[in-house]
Amino acid sequence: MKFIKTIAPYIAIATVVVLVRTFIITPVIVSGTSMDYTLKDGEILLLKKYDKTYERFDIVVFDYGNSKLVKRIIGLPGETLEYKNGVLYINGKVVEDPFASKTYDFKLSDLNIEIIPEGYYFVMGDNRNNSSDSRIIGPIKKENINGSTSFSLWPFGSIE
């Protein structure tokens, strides 16, 4: 009985840690340069798994194949999207994209779609010329998004 009383607090702590990492927050490491200059390779982010509402320009982590990718949401479900001469157009209107590096011309019809389907998001890396993103892999299903992030654990305070 004494053994059980001794290990019970450790089991409780381990259970809480597992539940928090599974359902609330977890660290994620940026891999690659597709989010330069906002995020750097090796940067450690805190991923919010509990918030499943996503807005334009949120940074999200999603599953793609056997990898977890970090990108920025550019287009929302039901929208049209186009980059022309480095300018972002959503539903035919100019939207300022303060995070983008030079972006080559692109429109959804290049992917054989006219609008972003319901339940999907169009994501891009901030380093647009060095990013495998929705321009290549297509829109991302909401169910494949693990969560969003706006906090860097290391280095501190690097996300703007």
Give the CATH number, domain containing residue 78: 2.10.109.10
Residue 109 maps to a domain? yes
Residue 83 burial class via C-beta count within 10 angstroms: exposed 0-12, middle 13-18, buried 19 and up: buried
Average pLDDT (48-55) is 92
List Cα–Cα distances, 67 to 32, 71, 145, in angstroms: 12, 13, 12
Residue 151 · residue 159 · CB < 8 Å = yes
In the prediction, which pLDDT does 16 show? Answer: 72
Percent of the chain past pLDDT 70, that is, above it, reads 95
Rounded to two decimals, what is the model's pTM? 0.88
Number of domains the chain is built from: 1
* Prior bond of 37 cis (ω within 30°): yes
Domain with 73, as residue range(s), is: 27-150
The residues assigned a catalytic role are 34, 71
- Consecutive H or E run containing 24: none
Residue 37 · residue 126 · CB < 8 Å = yes
Q: What is the pLDDT of residues 53-102, one digit of tens each?
A: 999 999 999 999 999 999 999 999 999 999 999 999 999 999 999 988 78
Of the pLDDT bands very low, low, confident and very high (cuts 50, 70, 90), residue 156 is low
Average pLDDT (123-152) is 94
Compute how many other C-beta atoms are within 10 angstroms of the C-beta atom of residue 75.
Answer: 24
Residue 6 maps to a domain? no
Of the pLDDT bands very low, low, confident and very high (cuts 50, 70, 90), residue 157 is low
Strand partners, 26: 47
User: With 70 as the cut, is the pLDDT of residue 20 above it?
Assistant: no
Q: How large is the greatest C-alpha to C-alpha distance in the chain, in angstroms?
A: 73
Residue 13 maps to a domain? no
Residue 123 · residue 62 · CB < 8 Å = yes
